[in-house]
Amino acid sequence: MNPDRDAPPTPLDAQALARLRELDPDGRQGVLGRVLTAFDTSLARMIAQLMAEADGGSPEVVAGIAHTLKSSSASVGALELSRACADVEARLRSGPSADLRHDIERLIALAEAAQRSVAAILRP
């Protein structure tokens, strides 16, 4: 059992959520829910992709996943995940990483924490 994966969800950044709410002030369009649902779906797919890369994965594939997750996670306020993605992407793009498995595990743990945070908002 990985203790990082059992960590409580990191709250999503309030300012990022406020910016999303500003797009639909009265909530009638359901923008926040739609954005978070799309992020959650994408996140589940990318977690599965990261898991598939855990044993002998490709640094290029992991860097690509990190790149994709970097901005989407920032836009919904999963800032810790976004920062980790930026860090992993930069290191992997600059050369081979001896810690690829650790990078993957770190991204999975943070992505799962973000997923729990999103779930707490979508399904209180």
Q: Which of 89, 85, 70, 79 is nearest to 114 (CA)?
A: 79
Amino acid (one-letter) located at 72: S
- Rounded Cα gap, residues 27 and 102, in angstroms: 40
- Rounded Cα gap, residues 122 and 124, in angstroms: 6
Residue with tokens 């309030």: 14
State pLDDT tens for residues 70-122. 999 999 999 999 999 999 999 898 876 778 899 999 999 999 999 999 999 99
Enter the pTM of the model: 0.87
